[in-house]
A and B are shown apart, each in its own frame.
Chain A
Amino acid sequence: MKKNFKTEIKFTRTYKEYINHHPAIREAHCLKAEFPDYFQPIQQNDLYAGRLKHGLVGFSPDEWGSTAFGYYILKPELQNILNDETTDEKTKKEIEEIISFWETENTSAKIRRSYPPEMAKYLPSDDWMNQSGIAFPLYRLTGGNINFKKLMQLGLPGLRKEILSKLATAKENNLDEKFYEGSLIALNVINDIIDYYIRDAETQKELADAENILRLNNIIDTLKLIKDSRPKTLREGIQLFWLYANAADVRNYGRMDVYLGDLLANDLDCRIITEVEALKMLQSLWQLMADKHTVVHNRVIIGGKGRANENNADRFAILAMEASRTVLEIEPQLSLRIYEGMNPDVFDKALEVIGEGRTFPIIYNDDVNLNSVVKAFGFTEKEAEQYVPYGCGEYILEHQSFGTPSGVINLLKALEVTLHNGIDPVTKKQMGLALGTFESFKTFDDLWNGYKKQIEHYVRIMADHEALEYNVAGEVAPYLLMSMLYDDCLEKGKGIFSGGIRYLGGTLETYGNTNTADSLLVIKKLIYVDKSVSKEELLKAIDNNFIGFEKLKKKIADVPKYGNDIDEADDMLLKVHNHVCNYVRDQKDRVGLHSYMIVNINNSANTLMGRSTSASADGRLAFTSMNNGNTPTSGNDKNGITSLLNSIVKPATDIHAGAVQNIKFSSQMFTEHKDELKALLKTYFENGGAQAMITVVNRGDLENAMNEPEKYKHVFVRVGGFSARFVELAKDIQLDILNRTLY
């Protein structure tokens, strides 16, 4: 347990001292108070300095635990220390003071305090992971992709020079001098961090062996170089990038092949380093990223249209994929943008790495996405070339726009509540709008309209919330280290959220889309069309988690589901999709954002929110996972891969800000059927496939299939000269195949 709160105390004292100063000055001094203290020593094997471990209070644009961002406090952790018997009285007193001050002064608290009554009523909880609800707010400014290319070109001295020159003319140009003054202080904090790491490396050298002395000397030399000039080698480039990203707490790294590709190519061509050394450098960086355990961030983008020096960038891209192949971690989330006419070696390398079951790179199809980004966001074609996915798969324009998801909405919960006349069957309390009982919906359209009303009510609140969060965040701080590398901010002398950014957009994460559509089709067919089931029976079955309703469950299973290339089912998904996408998108002008769109993405929220969602009419059992992203519910795709792919390309991609597709393949596909696999993916992308996250099924998946056959019907295996569904085979044959796959 943490014993030393010197920095937290210093941070709090500094904030209080500057509480009434200009937000830029206050932030700059707070950064100076928390850094370099919150940086950790260089570890064995690290080729670069830069391990960040945030304290229990501090400043960051992104979240550190639920609702902790901006000026944040990790109250539960502090509370634990307070409750611990071994904590001495003096420390207790200090912690109490920290808590009592930050409880009301932290940024999330300020946001919640400014909720209008309606918002407070319908967003009663911030605990989306554990509580039942239709919609929840999120507190963070996530997904900023700063201009690392500019950082590489200018280096720290160049950036300082630019700020100084802006400061010199600020008055005559009627710009905010304090913003620039704060920026200079903030930039100096990076120097403080560099100095700290030079001292750290020097100290570590005293006990190191020859090899490690060499490693530490390299770090020291590199740190000294980047302090005084722009980076000229890959090593310097990576070091500067990494320190800056950590200090700014930027967790998504944009088009790395663009900003590091030239340095790599130059190093290799001038024989400064070998390929092997270059790979080692990336591997070390990859490990540093992995050790951050962000789970949903650490995006590195490679490939795609609109790269100035494509050859160099491709060389970097291939090396990056080799790093992902060899560093067996789940981060970084390496993401490859592909397009017709790209270097085929890059795509082949991607297939090699994916085929080994690494699940990376995640693939984004420029031939679809550029057009979608133009239409969805209203960017020009040229601008759209600089789109990057971040986090769980939301798109923004690198260093030009923002689109933090500041809320989640559970569509399936909304349907559930609508079927129960506004009552949440899990808590038995009034939750959403009471629009009438299920019985009172005489036609399917009545029900559909009720569902729509419910969703729209929450969407309006979430859109208001997004704008409100940005407003409060912008009043509180200019997020200097991020803003000085965001387009227009230095020119305007304003922070990103204080009017500096070019395009301020927002997003809303939707969950349960597929379950909702499948449920609606079941209700439509069984109740309103065939009339073979009564509303009462269906409600009872849902409320009893289908126990005692096996026959009904079977009937439900026979209704077509999304993901099988069956129009009836896919059309319902489109209805749900189009409605929520368009309604959300229509909010932007009302709330004053450049864009506001849904994202249909992949993380664990489908499972976490599923835990508070009752059984649904599509046959999903209570409190189990909902579907993931734009994919069918697990095991519901039964018509083979082409039909799955045909289904998932149907939802429009130009009315939202990102959607993800999980696709699983057997490893055989990558070894024995490479040509067909390539043809399959090519067709998928030609048909409008925007994205693909490819899992290669391994032994573990087959073992799971033996335990939970109902979820693994899509696994086809080759038996002798014939194909079979794995789950339909006898146990001993399954074992046979299982063993064969392993060897």
Chain B
Amino acid sequence: MNATDTNGLVFDIQRFSLHDGPGIRTTIFLKGCPLNCAWCHNPEAKPYKQQLSFNENLCTSCMECVKVCNNTVHSFVNGKHNVNFDACELSGKCVEVCPSEALQIIGKEYSTNEIINIVLRDKKYFENSNGGLTISGGEPLAQFKFTKSLLMKAKDAGLHTAIETCGFAKEQQYLDILPYVDLFLYDIKAAEDKKHIEFTGASNKLILLNLDLLSNNGANIILRCPLIPGVNDSEEHLSFIAGLNKKYQNILKVEVMAFHNIGRDKSKNIGVEYKFNDKPNADENTKRMWIAKLEDYGCTNISIG
């Protein structure tokens, strides 16, 4: 098979990942996503390019960054550290001198060979736990060549593979990778197209088409459903999820991804606005209620992801 080596932009590699598919896994997070979900948990994944991140909690106000930046990205006003993200040219100079790791450049170029070498270091752990490799993001198919090459290499090495996808990619791309993917973690965000466009910036038509396509072609699928209280946890949406579950034999499980405002800090770190600033996290009662309703509508295998 011998997939060609390709470069891609990766923003995190998590070894011993337990939540992105079965067993012990290594999850590779890729940058770039075609959707723009208001609740996004990983806002740093959205842009297709590298970006500066600044964590105020870790900053000790030493001002080293101010001294080295040629673009005056960093400044202190009344003792407060301001960052003008737009002016940053990603030289990395400030990151180098920051003594407290408050600054980071998010996104690093890796080749698929480099990635697979890291992944294979844990092969035995995968084997003993029925785990493997998961490619997540962002949207893995946004870096299609890279993702496909990585999947092929993983299959060559005998690994179980999973990808987490938002469903928003060309049909042909799904067909192309299908032989190399053992499990799709497939996001479903809103039943109603209008709402889908409102929350994510895109229609859900293509997403549902691709789900149909994958199901008809024998893919193994886990539905991942981000639920945001008062936003997309309507009866209609819950019954829609259950309907998909019943319709497609290949859907093994429904995973509820309860809203958490972790995206708030991450957005702040990279200087982008976060729409759900004041949204409370989903509490245990709400989660229980969701599960009960999904069960009422006919879902059989539900878990909290």
Contacts and interface: CB of A to CB of B under 8 A. Distances in A.
Interface of A: 550-551, 553-554, 565, 639-643, 646, 673, 675-676, 679-680, 682-683, 686-687, 709, 718-724, 728-731, 733, 736
Contacts of A682: 128
A679 B257 contact: no
A646 B62 contact: no
B14 A723 contact: yes
Contact of A733 (B19, B255, B262): B262
Contacts of B131: 676, 679
A731 B257 CA distance: 23
Interface string B244-281: 00000000000101111010110000000000000001
Main secondary structure of the interface of A (DSSP, over half): helix
Nearest to A736: B281
B167 to A, nearest CB: 17
Nearest to B95: A554
B171 interface: no
Interface in B21-58: 23-24, 41-42, 55, 57-58
B15 interface: yes
Contact of A720 (B58, B122, B124, B258): B258
Contacts of A680: 16, 24, 125, 128-129
Contact of B124 (A640, A686, A721): A686
B16 A641 contact: yes
A685 B279 CA distance: 45
A642 B16 contact: yes
Nearest to A724: B262
A675 B224 CA distance: 22
30 contacts: A551-B64, A551-B99, A553-B99, A554-B96, A554-B97, A554-B99, A642-B15, A642-B121, A643-B121, A676-B23, A679-B23, A680-B16, A680-B125, A680-B128, A682-B128, A683-B124, A683-B127, A686-B128, A718-B19, A719-B262, A720-B41, A720-B262, A721-B41, A721-B224, A721-B255, A721-B258, A721-B304, A721-B305, A722-B41, A722-B262
B128 A640 contact: no
Quick one: which of A565, A646, A679, A682 has the most chain B CB within 10 A?
A679
B100 to A, nearest CB: 9
The 6 A-B residue pairs with the shortest CB-CB distance, nearest first, are A720-B260, A679-B129, A721-B257, A640-B15, A679-B128, A550-B99
A405 B17 CA distance: 41
Contact of A731 (B24, B42, B57, B282): B57
A723 B262 CA distance: 10
Given A554-B97, A642-B15, A679 B125 contact: yes
Interface of B: 14-19, 23-24, 41-42, 55, 57-58, 62, 64, 96-99, 121-122, 124-125, 127-129, 131, 224, 226, 255, 257-260, 262, 264-265, 281-282, 304-305
A646 B98 contact: no
A551 B97 contact: yes
A550 B64 contact: yes
Contact of B55 (A565, A675, A722, A728): A728
A643 B97 contact: no
Given A679-B24, A728-B57, 19 more contacts: A550-B64, A554-B99, A640-B14, A641-B16, A642-B16, A642-B125, A680-B24, A680-B125, A683-B129, A687-B124, A709-B58, A719-B260, A720-B258, A721-B41, A721-B257, A721-B258, A721-B260, A724-B262, A729-B265
Contacts of B281: 720, 736
Contacts of A554: 96-99
A707 to B, nearest CB: 13
A419 to B, nearest CB: 24
Nearest to B264: A730
B210 to A, nearest CB: 21
A676 B18 contact: yes
A722 B42 contact: yes
B257 A720 contact: yes
B16 A640 contact: yes
Contacts of B128: 679-680, 682-683, 686
A729 B262 contact: yes
Contacts of A724: 262
Nearest to A672: B18
Nearest to B26: A642
B221 to A, nearest CB: 17
B24 A642 contact: yes
A680 B124 CA distance: 9
A719 B259 CA distance: 9
Given A642-B24, A642-B122, A642-B125, A720 B17 contact: no
A719 B260 CA distance: 7
A730 to B, nearest CB: 5
B191 to A, nearest CB: 19
Contacts of A565: 121
Nearest to A723: B19
A530 B41 CA distance: 39
A676 B305 contact: no
A733 B131 CA distance: 29
Nearest to B226: A721
B246 to A, nearest CB: 23
A730 B258 CA distance: 19
A6 to B, nearest CB: 62
A642 B126 CA distance: 10
B90 to A, nearest CB: 18
A641 B41 CA distance: 24
Nearest to A553: B99
Contacts of B18: 673, 676
Contacts of A687: 124
A718 to B, nearest CB: 7
A70 B42 CA distance: 65
Contacts of A641: 15-16
A711 to B, nearest CB: 13
Quick one: which of A550, A718, A721 has the most chain B CB within 10 A?
A721
A128 B226 CA distance: 58
Contacts of B16: 640-642, 680
A730 B121 contact: no
A676 B24 contact: yes
A641 B259 CA distance: 27
Nearest to A720: B260
A60 to B, nearest CB: 47
B49 to A, nearest CB: 22
Contacts of A736: 281
Contacts of B15: 639-643
B265 A730 contact: yes
Contacts of A642: 15-16, 24, 121-122, 125
A719 B62 CA distance: 31
A736 to B, nearest CB: 8
A616 to B, nearest CB: 18
Quick one: which of A551, A646, A686, A730 has the most chain B CB within 10 A?
A730
B68 to A, nearest CB: 10
Nearest to B281: A720
A739 to B, nearest CB: 12
B97 A733 contact: no
Nearest to A722: B41
